[in-house]
Structure 1
Amino acid sequence: MAESNLGCGPLTIKYLVFIFNFIFFLSGIILISVGVVAQVFFSSYLQFFDGKFETPAIGLIILGTIILVVSFFGCCGAKKENVCMLRTFSMLMVMVLLCEIAAGITVAVMRPQVEQLVKKNMDDTMEQYGSPKSLVTKTWDDLQKNYHCCGTNNYTEWEGTTFGKNVTGVPDTCCKIISTGCGHNVFSVNKTETIFTDGCYTALNDSAMRNIGAIIGGAIALALLQMVGVWMSHCLVRAVKERYEIL
């Protein structure tokens, strides 16, 4: 390629586009990582979330992958001073930005609905707890062990369930020190000092909101980065076109 005849200002923008696309490439990798972490979290408690937040998490992974492709157009367009590739880069950036805005609005609208749904699902699935091979049982056991909690709002909710009536107590995963049968007869002998008494809903909801916050925060940071990238690519396109007009 012939040596660039761009002036000092446009040449600076050209190298800034290179730097921007490197950062953009890294942001794509970060978004994929955040999406994977969020996906694993929401998949782990699928019985409670009904897959409502799996789509945004998967969307974040797809978006990160698209960003890796978009950054390729930006790098090649800047290196070759190719107007077509730079315009393609800008167009793709704007499209991704619009998708992010739509996704952000969707998550914001869904949030209060999902909070209510999670609480209802937790209450409903407590009655289905019991079978060792049941996904509901595994999900509740994982939740109570990981968050040191018991029941939806508190441990007493187990008393009204089929499982609670059978053992006059709570699941063993409510115990501070887990052992076979450690949660049995909690209600008949009132041995609450051996179990966690706080409910799981608040802990699970807080954790979910942190994951959602990570998704939204990543999208906002990326959107700001994209606007800078679109502006720089337009400046470079204008500089390249001016150079060819002079030539």
Structure 2
Amino acid sequence: MAGVSGCIKYSMFIFNFLFWLCGIVILGIAIWIRVSKDGQEILSSADSGTYPYVAVNILIAVGAIIMILGFLGCCGAVKESRCMLLLFFIFLLLILLLQVAAGILGAAFKSESQSILNETLYKNVNLLSSTSEDAKAFQEAVTEFQEEFKCCGLVNGAADWGNNFLQNYKSCECPSLTDSSCTSYRGKIVYKEPCISFIEELVAKNLIIVIGIAFGLAIIETLGLVFSMVLYCQIGNK
């Protein structure tokens, strides 16, 4: 009867050890965002209710699941446990199928997600002119974005800031009116372009990165499925 291939066994162990480490990193970052002061500011800046918290909670769940899968794969390979390897195969297959389904849905509703983003940005314009404490974190995030991307306001330009303009114009101050990208508003020279176009471009670029990562993960997950099933069969034939 054939024995268990040492190459497959230790490849499976290394693969799942790295998988387990990825789970720890994802879980650690998600927990940090959930409990730290800076993370709370990031979550509250969007002013979108519980949705940012739901996203972080999903990340925590994903990190925990990846850790469990990595543990099952490592132990299953080292101990040559068919039960653990089968559980690993089933759970990884389910994740891969969910990932494929999410990709199909994401492609199908791409235009709809774009309109949701625009709707959210238009809704949050009022936060720039607000004087409430809740709006301050969002305003700080926008000023940083303005400074980095050379834009002003969210949708309508500098006018979005309302009475808060003079307190925040420095982040979107433009060098000279001779520059075609500059305009004058309330006696200050600021960038003409609102930040909505830059945000949309940034989201589109990040979406391509996410798709690339998802594709890479799908390949790694497929290799994990192949390794686990080959090892499972070899243990059964031993």
Q: Structure 1 212/118 Cα, relative in aligned 2: closer, same or farther at 3 Å?
A: same
Aligned to 1:182: none
Residue 235 of structure 2, aligned match among 221, 235, 240: 240
Asked whether the equivalents of residues 152 and 200 of structure 1 are also in contact (C-alpha less than 8 Å), the reply is: yes
Secondary structure at the residue paired with 2:193? coil
Task: Write the mapping of 1:78-117 to structure 2, written as runs, cut at 5 A.
Answer: 78-117=77-116
Counterpart AA for 2:91: L
Q: Larger radius of gyration, structure 1 or 2?
A: 1
Q: CA deviation at 1:18?
A: 0.8
Q: Structure 1 240/145 Cα, relative in aligned 2: closer, same or farther at 3 Å?
A: closer
Counterpart AA for 2:65: I
Counterpart AA for 2:78: K
Unaligned segments of structure 1, at least 5 residues: 179-185
Unaligned segments of structure 2, at least 5 residues: 174-183
Q: CA deviation at 1:83?
A: 1.3
Number of residue-to-residue matches in the alignment: 219
Q: CA deviation at 1:55?
A: 4.9
Asked whether the equivalents of residues 76 and 85 of structure 1 are also in contact (C-alpha less than 8 Å), the reply is: yes
Q: Structure 1 209/62 Cα, relative in aligned 2: closer, same or farther at 3 Å?
A: farther
CA distance in 2 between counterparts of 1:134 and 1:78 reads 54
Asked whether the equivalents of residues 154 and 200 of structure 1 are also in contact (C-alpha less than 8 Å), the reply is: no
Q: Compute the TM-score of the two structures, normalised by the length of structure 2.
A: 0.73
Q: Structure 1 173/92 Cα, relative in aligned 2: closer, same or farther at 3 Å?
A: same
Asked whether the equivalents of residues 77 and 84 of structure 1 are also in contact (C-alpha less than 8 Å), the reply is: yes
CA distance in 1 between counterparts of 2:31 and 2:208 reads 15
RMSD value, Cα: 3.5
Q: CA deviation at 1:30?
A: 4.6
CA distance in 2 between counterparts of 1:209 and 1:34 reads 23
Asked whether the equivalents of residues 25 and 63 of structure 2 are also in contact (C-alpha less than 8 Å), the reply is: yes
Aligned to 1:181: none
Q: CA deviation at 1:211?
A: 4.3
Task: Write the mapping of 1:163-178 to structure 2, written as runs, cut at 5 A.
Answer: 164=162, 167=163, 170=165, 172-176=167-171
Q: Structure 1 121/129 Cα, relative in aligned 2: closer, same or farther at 3 Å?
A: same
1:77-123 deviations in whole A, cap 9, x for unaligned?
11111111111111111112122223333433444323223323333
Secondary structure at the residue paired with 2:83? helix
Asked whether the equivalents of residues 35 and 61 of structure 1 are also in contact (C-alpha less than 8 Å), the reply is: yes
Aligned to 1:205: 200
